[in-house]
Amino acid sequence: MRNELYSLWKNAKLYTPQGVINGAMMLVNPNGTIQSVEQLELGFTSENSAQVINVSGLTLLPGFIDIHVHGGNGFNVMDADYRSIDEISRFHAAHGTTSFLATTETASKDAITEALTCVTRAMETGVSGAEILGVHLEGPFLNAKRRGAQNEKEIRTPSVNELEHYLEASKNLIRLVTLAPEISGGMEAVQNFYSRGVTVSAGHTDATYEQVVEAIGYGVSHTTHHFNGMSPFHHRDPGVSGAGLMLQELTTELIADGIHVHPATVKLLFEVKSSRNICLITDAVTCCGLPDGEYGKIRMTNGQIYLKDGNSLAGSSLTTMQALKNAIQFTGCPLEQILPSLTEVPARQIGVDHRKGTLEPGKDADFLVIDENMHILATYVKGIEVYRSPNFN
């Protein structure tokens, strides 16, 4: 339900693009956008016009945007069920995500279509947690050699008809696609998606460095879970891993759980690329948030998720807030230096930075209230509270 009053947040430590403001005041419009952010008194004092929230000693962060998330808390995008999508949105909102791309996986054409249709309907209906910004189509146009946990039997080469079918089924709400540009028809698929305004990511790919350079010419601007599911770096063949490190045209996704990528390598990537060219993601799957155990074809032990019949990692149990904490710990960088990788960068990469990613006038009031220990006390999406901790009074 939309607020009928302005919301005036007072005495906050506020993280903005211009820097950290102490004792800040943020005024949120009834329509869920930010009207103003000031360090001094706004002069907006009418109790009849605004709900005043004094958060002295607390911090407001821009909400996190997760452009690669499959599920959580027992639910998955591929369930093709509205309740699943809503539960995913609620679960991740409690862990810092205010908006996300519902991410598919390699499956039959019919299964992908059902998932796309469901996500589209959920966007039209609305969900009760983090906002759905569209779809991340991960597969089925991948290289089987770098499939990871993707279903090898359903991996296929792209066709114009199948591309158009998915775009139509999603009502053109596919914002990001992961594919292997080096496979037969791959470069044409890159060009096709790019021409339709879709961000194209190289992932589950065995491309050479030279093929990545070629793919950039067709429209690739992103890599999927960098270092994972791609040709590794070698001094005589840099592969996709090396291309992501060296080519400024590429923004690299990163799963900062300390499992998919060694903490020292996380530090290296931030030092080479900077936070403005790294997109922190969760790649969270169904069992994220659940106890260790077996879940279908996967097994989770100590939060690490593997296929039961092999050694392949099968997604993560990571949340966006934990990704932020890990990246700070692994790199030694302050919060404000890492923060863009969860806010401004994903917003830019999927073309929603005009309304998401920062706390500044005109943008959606998507933000987190956290304490000094980085515990989430509340999550707001377009000015509406979608999560509240029992500890937030």
The separation between CA 305 and the C-alpha centre of its own chain, rounded to angstroms, equals 19
Residues 19 and 127 in one domain: no
The separation between CA 178 and the C-alpha centre of its own chain, rounded to angstroms, equals 14
Q: Is residue 1 part of a domain?
A: no
Q: Are strands 298-301 and 293-295 parallel, antiparallel or unpaired?
A: antiparallel
For the chain, percent of residues with pLDDT exceeding 70: 97
Q: For residue 125, is pLDDT > 60? A: yes
Instruction: Render pLDDT for 274-328 as a digit per residue (tens, 0 to 9).
Output: 999 999 999 999 999 999 999 989 999 999 999 988 788 999 999 999 999 999 9
302 exposure class (CB count in 10 Å sphere: 0-12, 13-18, 19+): exposed
Is the separation of the CB atoms in 326 and 264 below 8 Å? no
Instruction: Render pLDDT for 329-375 as a digit per residue (tens, 0 to 9).
Output: 999 999 999 999 999 999 999 999 999 999 999 999 999 999 999 99
Residues 10 and 51 in one domain: yes
* pLDDT, position 40: 64
Residues 107 and 156 in one domain: yes
Please give the average per-residue pLDDT across 241-257, as a whole number.
98
Residues 35 and 160 in one domain: no
* pLDDT, position 79: 97
Please give the average per-residue pLDDT across 121-138, as a whole number.
98
Is the separation of the CB atoms in 84 and 101 below 8 Å? no
Q: Which residues, at least 6 apart from 46, have a Cβ–Cβ distance to it below 8 Å?
A: none
How confident is residue 42, by pLDDT bands cut at 50, 70 and 90?
low
Residues 100 and 221 in one domain: yes
> How many residues appear in the chain?
393
* Helix, strand or coil, per DSSP, at residue 41: coil
Instruction: Render pLDDT for 111-121 as a digit per residue (tens, 0 to 9).
Output: 999 999 999 99
332 exposure class (CB count in 10 Å sphere: 0-12, 13-18, 19+): exposed
How confident is residue 251, by pLDDT bands cut at 50, 70 and 90?
very high
Q: For residue 43, is pLDDT > 80? A: no
Count of structural domains within the chain: 2
Q: What's the pTM value of the predicted model, to 2 decimals? A: 0.97
Residues 48 and 122 in one domain: no
* pLDDT, position 2: 65
* pLDDT, position 145: 97
Amino acid at 279: C
How confident is residue 391, by pLDDT bands cut at 50, 70 and 90?
confident
Residues 48 and 82 in one domain: no
Torsions phi, psi of 22, nearest 5? -90, 145
Q: Is residue 393 part of a domain?
A: no
CATH number for the domain harbouring residue 372? 2.30.40.10
C-alpha 114/C-alpha 152 separation (Å) is 20
Structure tokens at 254: 């990163």
C-alpha 92/C-alpha 224 separation (Å) is 20
Structure tokens at 151: 């279903």
Which residues have a catalytic role annotated?
283
* pLDDT, position 50: 82
Please give the average per-residue pLDDT across 55-77, as a whole number.
97
For the chain, percent of residues with pLDDT exceeding 90: 92
Residues 144 and 258 in one domain: yes
Q: What is the domain extent for residue 72?
A: 63-349
* pLDDT, position 44: 55
Residues 110 and 256 in one domain: yes
CATH number for the domain harbouring residue 143? 3.20.20.140
Residues 240 and 141 in one domain: yes
C-alpha 185/C-alpha 310 separation (Å) is 30
* pLDDT, position 142: 98
C-alpha 387/C-alpha 92 separation (Å) is 10
Amino acid at 316: S
Residues 283 and 326 in one domain: yes
Q: Is residue 161 part of a domain?
A: yes
Q: Which of 353, 366, 17 is nearest to 199 (CA)?
A: 353
* pLDDT, position 48: 57
* pLDDT, position 374: 96
Q: Is the peptide bond before 140 cis (omega within 30 degrees of 0)?
A: yes
Amino acid at 208: T
* pLDDT, position 41: 58
- Crossing angle between the packed helical segments 82-93 and 109-125, to the nearest 10 degrees: 60
The separation between CA 227 and the C-alpha centre of its own chain, rounded to angstroms, equals 17
User: Residue 33: beta bridge partners?
Assistant: 364
Greater pLDDT, 139 or 41:
139
Residues 51 and 138 in one domain: no
Greater pLDDT, 49 or 105:
105
Amino acid at 274: S
What's the mean pLDDT when you consider all of the chain? 95
Q: Which residues, at least 6 apart from 169, have a Cβ–Cβ distance to it below 8 Å?
A: 113, 116, 117, 120
Q: For residue 102, is pLDDT > 60? A: yes
Alpha helices, H only, the chain? 82-93, 109-125, 160-169, 186-195, 209-218, 239-246, 263-273, 320-331, 335-338, 344-349
